[in-house]
Each structure stands twice: as structure tokens, then as C-alpha cells.
Structure 1
Amino acid sequence: MFTIIAAIGRSNELGKDGDLIWHLPSDMKFFRETTSGHTIIMGRKTFESLGRVLPNRHHVVLTHADESFFPEEVEVVHSFAEVYTKYRDVDEDVFIIGGGEIYRLFFSYAEKMYLTQVNEIHFNADTFFPEIDARNWDVRDLMKIDEDGHQAVIREYIRKK
């Protein structure tokens, strides 16, 4: 099952200059604990922004770049169709972790989302999350965050059948 995980602002801001806008320790811990032991799918820029292979996760990078640019333990795929076909029927969560283009590609196919929604607008953002039609999702709050001068809520979205 494709599951999106992201941190966004009030205007669906995701990032600026290839990096996350918000670095909230509670959100980072939630990401680490939630994705541990699972497959994570991302684009090349997101992989590069990680700076390393994250422990206890199977990394899949969707890119046009050659496999030789990536560590051996990273699975490199070159088309959405290839990664979709391989992982669509997996029973456990397969996490989509970004960036913006990867979220757009998988958005219609995600059955679940974990969104950290930060109660701020970042006017200089250059990467955005797709628009969410609340009528298509059942939503529940999982955790409130109030740290480092930021307020946020981690919410679980389950696609309505």
C-alpha cells in the first residue's frame, strides 16, 4: 500500500532550495519510527538531501540518473510504471517520502497519508504538496507539536473507498 509521509505548511509548502522548511524534532522522530523497517520511495533530490542511506529501510530512488551514482544498497528505478507495478500490491506500507514531483506522481494512488501540518506559511517555498480534497479522506489527529516556536499537528489520512 502506498503511504505518503510529509511535513507541509498552511499553503502546502514542502521545501526550499532542495531542503525541508521545518526541522521539528518530534516530526523527525515520528518519521524515523513510522518508516523504520519499510520501503521508502523518493526522487534523486530527496535522496541527495538525506546525505546518507537511512538505517533499517529499503531505499527506492525514482530517477533518470544512472545507477552508478547511488550506493549499492539503493534500488534505482527509471519509470513510475516500473516502481508502481513492483510495489502496488505490497500488503505493508510503502512510504512515499518526496519530493514534490514524486508526491504528485503517487498522490492518486496513495491509500494513506501521514501529514505533519505546520500552522505557518513559508512565503519563500519553491516546492509544494498537491492540493488535498478533504471529501476524499477520513482524517484523525495523531499528535500535536509545539516546539522550537512552531505549532503543528501530525494527521493520518485514510482514503475513502
Structure 2
Amino acid sequence: MIAAIWAQDENGLIGKNDVLPWHLPDDLQFFKQMTENNVIVMGRKTFEGMGKNLLPNRQTIVLTSDKNYDGNGAKVMNSVDEVIEFAESFEGITFITGGGEIYKSFLPHIDVLYRTLIKHEFEGDTYFPYLDWEEWNIVSTSEGTVDDKNSYPHDFETYQRNSK
């Protein structure tokens, strides 16, 4: 199964200079909980925005056109088809984790969406690609925690693609 997971502000913003424009530990915990023991796929810029650090307890795939890219321990793949072929043989969930162009490339292949909607507006340069919401059914939604470490109200939403 292929899923997308991301956080966005009210305007669909997902990034600024290849990193998140907010600090929201509750969302980071949700991301960890969902992706542990699974696979995360990201583009080279997103990977480098994380300092090329591998997250524990998940396999990382970096998608790049650079056939000689040093993934610093991550598996490097050079095409969407290569990732899809991998995902079809993987028993867990293959999570698409960004950035914007990577989400756009995989949208036709995604079965489930995990969106954190932050009820705030931020400044940035990368937005989640256009999504036809008519193709998706909301499965669940829950409020995130707002406290001294999590300043922004946010909801965790899960969508499943309509059957065709």
C-alpha cells in the first residue's frame, strides 16, 4: 500500500527552504507513530533538509535523478516506477513524505492520505499539489494536542481513495 503523510497550514503550505515552517512536536509524534516499521520515500531536497539523517526504525528511500547520489545509508531510487515496484513487494506501508514534486508524482498511485491540518497561516515556498477531494472519503479525524509545546490547533485526518 502507498500512503501520503504530510502536515500543512490552512493554505496548503508544507515547506519553507526544504524544511517545515513550524515546530509541532505532536505532529512529529504522529509521523513517528504512523511510519515506524514501514518505508518512507522522499526527494533529495527533503532528505538533505533533514541533514541526510536516517530516522530510526524505518527504511528510507531517496528519490533522485542522480544515479550516483550518496544516500548516507538510505536506499536510492531513480524513478517513480522503481519505488512503486518496491512498494508492491513490501508487506507494510510505503509512505510518501515529500516534498511537493514527489507528492505530485505519486498522487495517482496513493491509496490513503494522512494529513495534519494546522489551523494557522505560515510563510513558505512549497505547497501540497492540487488534490481533487471528490476522489477521497474522510475515514477519521481527531484533534491534536495544544499545549506549551504545541502552539497551533491542528487536526489529524485520514482519507481513503474512493473505489473506482
TM-score over 0.5 (shorter chain): yes
Unaligned runs of 5+ in 1: none
* 3-12 vs 47-56, greater mean Cα deviation: 47-56
Q: What TM-score, normalized to structure 2?
A: 0.89
Which whole-Å CA distance do the structure 2 matches of 1:92 and 1:50 have between them? 23
- Aligned residue pairs total 159
Which whole-Å CA distance do the structure 2 matches of 1:47 and 1:121 have between them? 24
Shift of 1:133: 2.5
For the 8 Å contact 1:12–1:131, the answer to whether it is kept is: no
Q: Percent identity?
A: 33
Which whole-Å CA distance do the structure 2 matches of 1:156 and 1:118 have between them? 14
In the other structure, the counterpart of 1:65 is 66
Alignment of 1:127 with 2:155, yes or no, is no
CA offsets per residue over residues 60-88 of structure 1, 9 Å max, x none?
Answer: 110022445222x3110111122122224
Q: What TM-score, normalized to structure 1?
A: 0.90
Shift of 1:91: 4.3
Secondary structure, aligned partner of 2:33: helix
CA offsets per residue over residues 93-146 of structure 1, 9 Å max, x none?
Answer: 110011111011111211001100011222x32101022332211112033332
> Displaced runs of 4+ in structure 1, greater than 4 A?
none
Cα RMSD for the two superposed structures: 1.6
Unaligned runs of 5+ in 2: none
In the other structure, the counterpart of 2:106 is 106
